[in-house]
């Protein structure tokens, strides 16, 4: 079982005191998992709604930030493979609905 370190003490997920205070065991994700989760969320949103996420809708704001941050990283040549090829594919899909009015 994985251990978590906090203030020089180790706790295992079976520790009852941590479960009692609501420590989110099992929700720890790597950066690659987080990126892939957000990528899949944005891709499925664009495919299902046939438009890009709106910066004005609060529930879509995280998707807009993801696209903006990845675009900046790509332009600065800091986005590495395989994320770069996946993001370019997402940009092609996004470009398809670039000027799509969400109310049509």
Query: 16: which 2 tokens?
Result: 């009852």
pLDDT score, position 99: 74
Helix, strand, or coil here: 11?
strand
Between 85 and 11, the higher pLDDT residue: 85
Q: Has residue 58 been placed in a domain?
A: yes
Query: Does residue 2 fall inside a structural domain?
Result: no
The per-residue pLDDT for range 3-59, each reduced to its tens digit, is 555 554 555 555 555 455 555 555 678 999 999 999 999 999 999 998 999 999 999
pLDDT surpassing 50 at residue 1: no
Task: Indicate whether 47 belongs to any domain.
Answer: yes
Residue 14 is assigned to a structural domain of this protein: no
What pLDDT score does 23 carry? 54
Please, which pLDDT band fits residue 67 given cuts at 50, 70 and 90? very high
**Residue position matching structure tokens 């295992």:** 12
Pairing state between β 4-6 and 9-11 = antiparallel
77 in a structural domain: yes
Element (H, E) at 68: helix 61-75
Q: Is residue 13 part of a domain?
A: no
Distance CA 14, CA 16 (A): 6
Q: Does any domain span residue 16?
A: no
Flag whether 42 is in a domain. yes
The count of structural domains within the chain is 1
Its domain, for residue 87, covers 31-96
């Amino acid at each position: 079982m994985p251990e978590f370190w906090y203030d020089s003490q180790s706790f295992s997920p079976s520790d009852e005191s941590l479960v009692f205070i609501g420590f989110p065991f099992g929700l720890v994700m790597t950066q690659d998992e987080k990126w892939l989760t957000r990528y899949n969320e944005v891709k499925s949103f664009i495919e299902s709604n046939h438009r890009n996420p709106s910066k004005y809708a609060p529930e879509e704001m995280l998707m807009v930030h993801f696209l903006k941050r990845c675009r900046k990283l790509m332009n600065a040549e800091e986005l590495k493979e395989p994320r770069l090829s996946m993001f370019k594919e997402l940009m092609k899909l996004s470009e398809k609905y670039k000027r799509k009015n969400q109310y049509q």
